[in-house]
A and B are shown apart, each in its own frame.
Chain A
Amino acid sequence: MSDRTEQRGDTAGAGSLPGQVPLRPPANPVSRKAIVMWLLDGLFWSVLLVGGAFLLSGWIGDGRWSWLPEWLADGAGWLPALTAVLVVPAALAEPFWRYAVHRWELSGDVVYARSGWIDRQWTFVPVSRIQTVDKKQGTLERVLGLATVDIRTASHAGSSTIKGLDYGVAAALAERLAQRAEELRDDAT
């Protein structure tokens, strides 16, 4: 707002250093137990992928796919190992990276949330435009005592999903949002 006049310039926004989104991080981290959830999730998928690669390399090794180039067919044995090298470190790093990124805050009647790991996403949802607030628990979340809060407006791009909250925190947030949304309901859309 203060820099409103600056925007007209051709180089607007290019002057600042990359990676400097002028938004402060939301106040609250998600639950630490979310790391465990993401870890289990990542390991599950790693096992699935490496297993799939193993099967694939077995098929290629049978030599049934004659149209494949020689070097590819010969190197098929390395496929599971290669997959594992790519996938497992990612699966191990992702939970901690996510924990650093995923944060949320409710202030000024706006829900502000940040999520992602390699890609990032910031969402701003004003309470006055909320249509529904859902509190969900997947199987893994139930085991760990976590919950996801799903905040929906009339638009998918104006909706927000906060994962990995402690159940108590999620319940309180959902309750508070629903109550406040009722008070502020604004039907302009």
Chain B
Amino acid sequence: MTGLPDPPDRPGDPSADPHAGPSADPPADPSAGPHAGPSREDPGPHAAPGLRAYGPPPVGASAGPAPAGPSAGPPLAGPSLRLSPRVLLTEPIRTLPSLLLPLTGVLFLGGFSSGSFGWAAFGLVGSVLYAVVRWATFTYQVIGDRLELTRALIGRSVRTIPLERIRGVDVSSPPLHRLLGLAVLRIDTGAGGSKQEGELDGVTLVEAERLKAALLWHARARAARRAGARGTVAAHGDGPPGAAVTVPAGPFPGTPEPAGPSPAAAVPPVRHRTGETLPERVLFVVPRRWLAYGPLSGSYLLTPFAFVAGAAGLAFQWGSELRIDGRIVVGAGEWLWGHPLLLGGALVVLVLAMPVLGAAMYAVFNWDFTLRARDGYLVAERGLLTRRSVSLERRRVRGFELVEGLAERWAGVARAWAIVTGLGDSGTRGQLLSVIPRRAALDVVREAVGPILTGLRPHPPVARRRRLFRAVFPWLVAAACAAVAARSWPPLWWAVAAALVLAVLGVPLGLDRYRSLGHTHEGGRLSVRSGSLRRSQVVIEERAVVGWTLRQTWFQRRAGVLTVVAGVGAGSGGYAAIDVGEAQGVAFAAEVTPAWLAPFTEDAPPS
């Protein structure tokens, strides 16, 4: 176990060698584990060559010798660290539920004999031992420009995460972790999927914050240096996509000509100089009374039903494991069906519970939603039991999406998401704000990302007809089908009535959908809006556009409209202006990226 020699990252660095030895030793005293980083710096011998400040300036608790030249960024080799030994408590407790059933099964099968207790105890001890082995064999370490997660059990697997690929670090602490002062640190590399992402489950909160700051600082430092280097070797296009040059939102940076990089590269390194620390700034803390708006978003209203479904699923699963006969379950269901009053009562209770449980659930997840600006990152933090914090690199933010459901529009509230390049699972991670009044949301978003675009251009009246048709016609067809079938089975007349009601409701819905449609382009940014039950307006920088798709169905062709989709390498990948006039749509794309469409547009003046 004492192995894990750390090959010095750069042979040329003299300070790496003497250190690699001692620091590789696992801390003998487990209690020293979690704080190994800071506390190891304290003793004299290590502090002396301590220029290798492992922590970055922002946190650097014990990193007294603040790096003289942060921008020089010496190759770093931090000590190889372990998770907090307190995970030995969380790990078995977490695996307990999955062990419980087999264990009780063993007890039952063994008829509670001493032998069966022995086996159960063996299982318990085994799980604890397993946790210990897992803890003892896992180490993590920052070496030079990468983070290495090493698991050395029989073989040795090393996951290497280049620091400059790190796009965000999430720190969250589930309830049990919280009790013990632990946290889970997730490292997002934008690789998509969990394949290349790293997870440290069970570091102390202090260590989590330190590591997060260190990782983000180094990640930024490397990226900035790379960007600077690119400036001198401009337009060589060898850097990974991560090292993107920040092109200032000039008039038309979208032009494909390479005029962009060289002048642009001169600017951003100044802004993103390594180690530059801006004071943390709280952009917004959502007041607790606004938690009341939560259930308006709709999804949380289904909480009671989700609970019931979950309970039923669990009952079935446990039922089969405990060998309860399926007929009993079916019998119970039939008995319930035979007592419609009871069933109805339960349904009423569930419906009444919708707003209450929904609000509670929403509050648990969105408690004290806080948005901060820190060091080139936007940090959104929320949650009551599990506190979740997501860091979004501002350099990668390309715009935002403002979402308002029907009820939310009635109440004048909205939600906001950031559109970030290379952010996986952006639906949950990109959220900038919980449900808050629209005006406040726009203020915060303006400060964090940019102002919203107003004065959307309307789409042609044909689009109104199309929206109406699409909102009404399917229900009419359903009504007709149900009517045919109802002639042989009368209860279906109810379905006919329901479909007709929905068809009537489709009229205002279709009209509102049309009113929502709009697109515009102004000041280097474009915006599209659509939807009624869930109206969404997207504002993105034009430099984020990577291509266009214009689509026209046969019906659209007859109506003289088409759908223009701006391909964006962020968020959902494409944002559509639905049912734009043919000339209008082409002109829109040509206006945003003139150089791309100019060679192909016909100069036929649109009447």
Contacts and interface: CB of A to CB of B under 8 A. Distances in A.
B245 interface: yes
Interface stretch (B120-128, B236-244, B366-374): B236-244
Contact of A18 (B260, B558, B594): B558
Nearest to A22: B602
Contacts of B96: none
Interface residues of A, number: 59
Given A12-B457, A129-B547, A23 B586 contact: yes
A185 B568 CA distance: 16
B569 A158 contact: yes
A92 interface: no
B606 A13 contact: yes
B243 A187 contact: yes
Q: Which of B548, B551, B588 gathers the greatest number of chain A CB atoms within 10 Å?
A: B548
B599 A20 contact: no
A154 B607 contact: no
B570 interface: yes
B547 A153 contact: yes
B316 to A, nearest CB: 30
Contacts of B543: 188-189
Interface in B237-261: 237, 239, 241, 243-245, 247, 253, 256-258, 260-261
Interface string B448-485: 00000000011111100000000000000000000010
User: DSSP majority for the B interface?
Assistant: mixed
Interface stretch (B37-45, B304-312, B400-408, B559-567): B559-567
A182 B257 CA distance: 13
B574 to A, nearest CB: 3
B585 A188 contact: no
Interface string B547-591: 111111110011111100111111001111000111111111111
Contacts of B598: 1, 108
Contacts of B604: 20, 22
B583 A16 contact: yes
Interface stretch (A33-41, A81-89, A116-124): A116-124
Contacts of A183: 237, 258
Contacts of B580: 13
B85 to A, nearest CB: 43
Most buried by B among A20, A26, A126, A187: A187
A12 B244 contact: no
Nearest to B243: A187
Interface string A11-55: 111111111111110100000000000000000000000000000
Given A16-B583, A118-B554, A158-B547, A126 B601 contact: no
A189 B591 contact: no
A4 B591 contact: yes
B536 to A, nearest CB: 16
B197 to A, nearest CB: 19
A10 B261 CA distance: 40
A105 B421 CA distance: 29
Interface of A: 1-4, 6-8, 10-24, 26, 69, 105, 107-110, 112, 118-129, 131, 153-160, 182-189
16 contacts: A1-B591, A12-B584, A13-B560, A13-B582, A13-B584, A14-B460, A21-B550, A23-B602, A110-B597, A122-B548, A122-B549, A124-B597, A157-B548, A158-B566, A186-B260, A188-B260
